[in-house]
Amino acid sequence: MNARSSLRISLVFVAAAALAACGGSSSSALPPGYYITISGLQFPSATLEAPAGATITVVNQSAAGHTVTQEAARDGFTLGSPPGTTPFDTGLFTAGTRTFSLPAGLADGTVLYYYCRTHTSLMIPSSGTITIRASAQPLPGPG
């Protein structure tokens, strides 16, 4: 074996070791927070409680493009929000995460509705809710 072949083998070994070290943990859990999960055509976590001003992370576990868009009324499938606030909308995205912040100053008990602009009534359930609760605590992230 010549020096060039030996160097190649060493580089392959180092690269393989680095990849193994990066992939050593099978857990890809996100830190505690406020999450909406999309899986296929489902919102498995369709109800959420979070304080006003909280950052919400949307986790799309599907290869299909989805949105989480605030709607004026449950199953109305039209953009809307409480007076004086701007509606949230993640925009269309595939597998991965997007975040948005809830408006600060919303009253405790305010219910915000959301849907997927791409799939509207095809989602199960078709709409989800975020209820403003000052006492809400972050939950473990989806794994």
Distance from C-alpha of 132 to C-alpha of 50, rounded to nearest angstrom: 5
pLDDT at 6: 42
Element of type H or E holding 113: strand 111-115
Question: Which residue, chain included where needed, has tokens 């919303």?
Answer: 106
DSSP secondary structure code for residue 72 in this structure: S
Question: Which pLDDT tens digit goes with each residue over 1-45?
Answer: 544 444 333 333 333 333 333 333 334 579 999 999 999 999 998
The proportion of the chain whose per-residue pLDDT surpasses 90, expressed as a percent, equals 76
Q: Where are the domains of the chain?
A: 35-132
The DSSP result for 5-63, as a single string, is: HHHHHHHHHHHHHHHHHHTS----PPPSBEEEEEBTTB-TT-EEEE-TT-EEEEEE-SS
Distance from C-alpha of 89 to C-alpha of 79, rounded to nearest angstrom: 9
The proportion of the chain whose per-residue pLDDT surpasses 70, expressed as a percent, equals 80
pTM comes to 0.79
pLDDT at 27: 43
Q: What is the CATH number of domain 35-132?
A: 2.60.40.420
3 state DSSP class of 4: helix
Provide the token pair at 84: 């004086």
